[in-house]
Amino acid sequence: MNAPLPPNLAENAAERARRQAQAVAALSPLLPAHALLWQREDTVPYECDGLTAYRQMPLLVALPETEAQVAAVLQACHRLGVPVVARGAGTGLSGGALPHAMGVTLSLTKFNQIVHIDRAARTATVQCGVRNLAISEAAAPFGLYYAPDPSSQIACTIGGNVAENSGGVHCLKYGLTLHNVLRVRGLTVQGEPVCFGSEALDAPGLDLLPLIVGSEGMLAVILEVTVKLVPKPQLARCIMASFDDIRKAGDAVAAVIAAGIIPAGLEMMDKPMTAAVEDYVHAGYDLDAAAILLCESDGTPDEVAEEIDRLLDVLSGAGATRMEVSKDEAQRLKFWSGRKNAFPASGRISPDYMCMDSTIPRKRLADILLAIQGMEQKYGLKCCNVFHAGDGNLHPLILFDANDADQLHRCELFGADILETSVALGGTVTGEHGVGVEKLSSMCVQFSTEEREQMLAVKRAFDAGGGLNPGKVIPTLQRCAEYGRMHVKKGLLPFPELERF
Judged by CB under 8 A, the chain residues 426 through 485 that form the site for another protein are 426-435, 439, 443, 446-448, 450-452, 454-455, 457-462, 464, 473-474
Residue 155 CA to residue 260 CA, distance in Å, equals 35
In the region spanning residues 267 to 306, those forming contacts with another protein, defined by CB under 8 A, are 299-300, 302-303, 305-306
Q: How many residues bind another protein (CB under 8 A)?
A: 106
> What does 402-470 look like in DSSP terms, one character per residue?
TTSHHHHHHHHHHHHHHHHHHHHTT-BS-SSS--TTTTHHHHHHHS-HHHHHHHHHHHHHH-TT--BST
Smallest gap, in angstroms, from Cβ of residue 233 to another protein? 5
Q: Is 224 in the site for another protein (CB under 8 A)?
A: no
Enumerate the β-bridge partners of residue 224: 127, 185
Q: Can you tell me which of 327, 377, 403, 501 binds another protein, judged by CB under 8 A? A: 501
Given the complex with another protein, which of 66 and 198 has the nearer CB atom?
198
Task: Give the range of 7-15, 50-58, 75-83, 195-203 binding another protein by CB under 8 A.
Answer: 195-203
Residue 308 CA to residue 149 CA, distance in Å, equals 23
Given the complex with another protein, which of 200 and 405 has the nearer CB atom?
200
Strands 291-299 and 352-355 turn out to be unpaired
Q: Is 18 in the site for another protein (CB under 8 A)?
A: no
Burial of 329 (0-12, 13-18, 19+ CB in 10 A): exposed
Task: Give the range of 52-60, 128-136, 141-149, 398-406 binding another protein by CB under 8 A.
Answer: 141-149
End-to-end CA distance of the chain: 26
What does residue 164 show for φ and ψ, rounded to 5 degrees? -100, -10
- Strands of 393-400's sheet in order across: 322-325, 235-243, 291-299, 265-270, 383-388, 393-400, 352-355
Q: Can you tell me which of 65, 137, 199, 482 binds another protein, judged by CB under 8 A? A: 199
Q: Can you tell me which of 32, 45, 81, 143 binds another protein, judged by CB under 8 A? A: 143
Smallest gap, in angstroms, from Cβ of residue 50 to another protein? 15
- Strands of 221-228's sheet in order across: 114-118, 123-127, 221-228, 181-187, 193-197
Q: Is 211 in the site for another protein (CB under 8 A)?
A: yes
8 Å CB contact between 82 and 36: no
b/e code 274-307 from CB counts within 10 Å (16+ = b): bbbbbebbebebbeebbbbbbbbbbbeeeebeeb
The distance from CA 307 to its chain's CA centroid, rounded to whole angstroms, is: 30
Question: Which residues are within 8 A (CB) of 168 and not within 5 positions of it... i.e. 6 or more apart?
Answer: 148, 149, 150, 151, 153, 432
Q: Is 232 in the site for another protein (CB under 8 A)?
A: yes
Q: Which of 274, 408, 55, 91 is nearest to 416 (CA)?
A: 408
Q: Is 494 in the site for another protein (CB under 8 A)?
A: yes
Q: Is 416 in the site for another protein (CB under 8 A)?
A: no
Given the complex with another protein, which of 274 and 297 has the nearer CB atom?
297
CA distances to 126, 182, 214, 339 from 285, rounded to whole Å, are 39, 40, 35, 11
| Radius of gyration in angstroms for the set of CA atoms belonging to the chain, rounded to a whole number | 23
Smallest gap, in angstroms, from Cβ of residue 62 to another protein? 22
In the region spanning residues 100 to 139, those forming contacts with another protein, defined by CB under 8 A, are 118-122
Smallest gap, in angstroms, from Cβ of residue 389 to another protein? 11
Residue 383 CA to residue 417 CA, distance in Å, equals 13
Residue 165 CA to residue 167 CA, distance in Å, equals 7
In the region spanning residues 50 to 109, those forming contacts with another protein, defined by CB under 8 A, are none
In the region spanning residues 362 to 391, those forming contacts with another protein, defined by CB under 8 A, are 362-363, 388, 390-391
Smallest gap, in angstroms, from Cβ of residue 421 to another protein? 14
What does residue 481 show for φ and ψ, rounded to 5 degrees? -65, -40
Given the complex with another protein, which of 20 and 190 has the nearer CB atom?
190
Task: Give the range of 51-59, 145-153, 160-168, 342-350 binding another protein by CB under 8 A.
Answer: 160-168
Q: Can you tell me which of 132, 161, 188, 242 binds another protein, judged by CB under 8 A? A: 188
Smallest gap, in angstroms, from Cβ of residue 309 to another protein? 11
Given the complex with another protein, which of 254 and 312 has the nearer CB atom?
254
Q: Is 252 in the site for another protein (CB under 8 A)?
A: no
Smallest gap, in angstroms, from Cβ of residue 209 to another protein? 8
Q: Can you tell me which of 307, 352, 420, 438 binds another protein, judged by CB under 8 A? A: 307
Q: Is 172 in the site for another protein (CB under 8 A)?
A: yes
For residue 164, the tally of other CB atoms under 10 A from its CB is 30
Q: Is 247 in the site for another protein (CB under 8 A)?
A: no
Task: Give the range of 3-11, 74-82, 186-194, 311-319 binding another protein by CB under 8 A.
Answer: 186-194
Q: Can you tell me which of 83, 92, 148, 214 binds another protein, judged by CB under 8 A? A: 214
Smallest gap, in angstroms, from Cβ of residue 492 to another protein? 4
H or E element, residue 332: helix 329-340
Q: Is 22 in the site for another protein (CB under 8 A)?
A: no
Q: Is 142 in the site for another protein (CB under 8 A)?
A: yes
